[in-house]
Amino acid sequence: MRVVSGIQPTGNLHLGNYLGAIKRWVQMQDEAECLFFLADLHAITVFNDPAELAANVREMAAALLACGIDPERSTLFAHSAVPAHPELAWIFNCVARIGWLNRMTQFKEKSGKNREGASVGLFAYPVLQAADVLLYQASHVPVGEDQKQHVELMRDIGAKFNADYQVELFTLPEPLIGQTAARIMSLRDGNAKMSKSDPSDMSRVNLTDDADAVSQKVRKAKTDAEPLPESMDALEGRPEAKNLVLIHAALSDEEPQQVLARFAGQGFGAFKPALADVLVETLRPIKARLDGFRADPGELDSILARGAEKARARAQPTLDAAYRATGLRR
């Protein structure tokens, strides 16, 4: 099993990233060879202030380390430090079809009504994402549900390359999507994904929020007037309530049903403080470690430099084979 996944270094890590992806990245380290990267080449598909981008790469590296990514066991790097990613992405641009990319829902969401004004990079970014993973012959990609379509596209690109050039070069990876936390929703709107781009900070829990902020966000989270039911099925049609139960279950490593067994018949006046407690307890050690990593930017840079060196070495044979297969000379 070889695991590869990435995250954009934009702003803070939020609870959706943590429960949807990072928590499982940390667990996968015991089971597989892991490569994790900061997708800074993705971040620039929309304009980023250069100084802020550089700071965000360090900040996100610190956050991942604080969550438990261990640079001795995993390869952690910024993908801009491994030129094989954009090199393979170019070859893949010539394999992927415009029709495939036109179907990507994330591009539609991100470009909105201004499709003509979006960067070409934003449109083509799922192709770079395919290179990010296929370069390392990954078997599994742990992601939240919003990335499932991109992982399917990776498989299509890898399969078409293998077929066009009559090689068995690329491994076709499987998405690894958790059941409970596949899609954590906004605290203000149970039908919208928790996201860093939501203008309201009250919609998300950031991993850097202190206990007061966490309690306030949970207290103000949108809910309904009904008590909690006995079964998850009875939460259909109550997206906010369902989201809070799923968040609790993911944090306490329980089945959602077990959480309901404790709270069935009770209202949110009882449930919310319990949820805030689990959240604060989860975040406390992460925040403490984060402060330590932030205080040592030199160490962060050297961890990322070591990771990039390992990743470059890992990527090279597949990149060379892709050049050879296409008839390109170096």
In this complex, which beta carbon is closest to ligand TYM, that of residue 140 or of residue 272? 140
Among 3, 20, 78, 235, binds ligand TYM (CB under 6 A): 20
Question: Which of 45, 74, 59 minimizes the C-alpha distance to 11?
Answer: 59
In this complex, which beta carbon is closest to ligand TYM, that of residue 134 or of residue 300? 134
d(CA 42, CA 94): 19
Those residues with Cβ within 8 angstroms of residue 99's Cβ, 6 or more apart along the chain or in another chain? none
In this complex, which beta carbon is closest to ligand TYM, that of residue 39 or of residue 241? 39
Smallest separation, CB 277 to ligand TYM (Å): 22
Helix (H, G, I), strand (E, B), or coil: what is residue 130? helix
Is there binding between residue 17 and ligand TYM (CB under 6 A)?
yes
d(CA 9, CA 61): 8
For 210, the token pair is: 């202190």
Residue nearest to ligand TYM (CB): 20
Among 76, 91, 135, 194, binds ligand TYM (CB under 6 A): 194
Smallest separation, CB 117 to ligand TYM (Å): 20
Element (H, E) at 50: helix 50-67
Q: Three-class SS string for 237-279?
A: CCHHHHHHHHHHHHHHCCCHHHHHHHHCCCCHHHHHHHHHHHH
In this complex, which beta carbon is closest to ligand TYM, that of residue 129 or of residue 215? 129
Active site residue 23: no
Catalytic position from the list 23, 148, 160, 196: 196
Interaxial angle between packed helices 256-263 and 239-252, expressed in degrees from 0 to 180 and rounded to the nearest 10: 110
Element (H, E) at 37: strand 33-38
| Strand arrangement of the beta sheet that strand 33-38 belongs to | 74-78, 33-38, 2-7, 140-142, 174-176
Q: Which stretch binds ligand TYM (CB under 6 A): 1-9, 51-59, 90-98, 212-220?
A: 1-9
Is there binding between residue 124 and ligand TYM (CB under 6 A)?
no
For 158, the token pair is: 């890898």
Partnered with residue 167 across adjacent β-strands are: none
What letter would DSSP give residue 72? T
Is there binding between residue 173 and ligand TYM (CB under 6 A)?
no
Among 193, 217, 248, 314, binds ligand TYM (CB under 6 A): 193
d(CA 187, CA 275): 13
d(CA 106, CA 117): 16
In this complex, which beta carbon is closest to ligand TYM, that of residue 180 or of residue 223? 180
Smallest separation, CB 208 to ligand TYM (Å): 16
Active site residue 108: no
Catalytic position from the list 23, 113, 148, 193: 193
Active site residue 110: yes
Contact 13, 23 (CB under 8 A): no
Element (H, E) at 38: strand 33-38
Helix (H, G, I), strand (E, B), or coil: what is residue 15? helix
In this complex, which beta carbon is closest to ligand TYM, that of residue 37 or of residue 268? 37
In this complex, which beta carbon is closest to ligand TYM, that of residue 57 or of residue 133? 133
Among 21, 214, 246, 247, binds ligand TYM (CB under 6 A): 21
Map residues 31-50 to x or -, x wherever contact with ligand TYM holds by CB under 6 A.
--------x--x--------
For 244, the token pair is: 């809070």
Binders in 130-169 for ligand TYM, by CB under 6 A: 132-133, 141, 143-144, 146-147
Is there binding between residue 7 and ligand TYM (CB under 6 A)?
yes
Q: Tell me which residues are annotated as active site.
A: 110, 193, 196
Positions touching ligand TYM (CB under 6 A) are 5-8, 16-17, 20-21, 39, 42, 129, 132-133, 141, 143-144, 146-147, 181, 183-184, 193-195
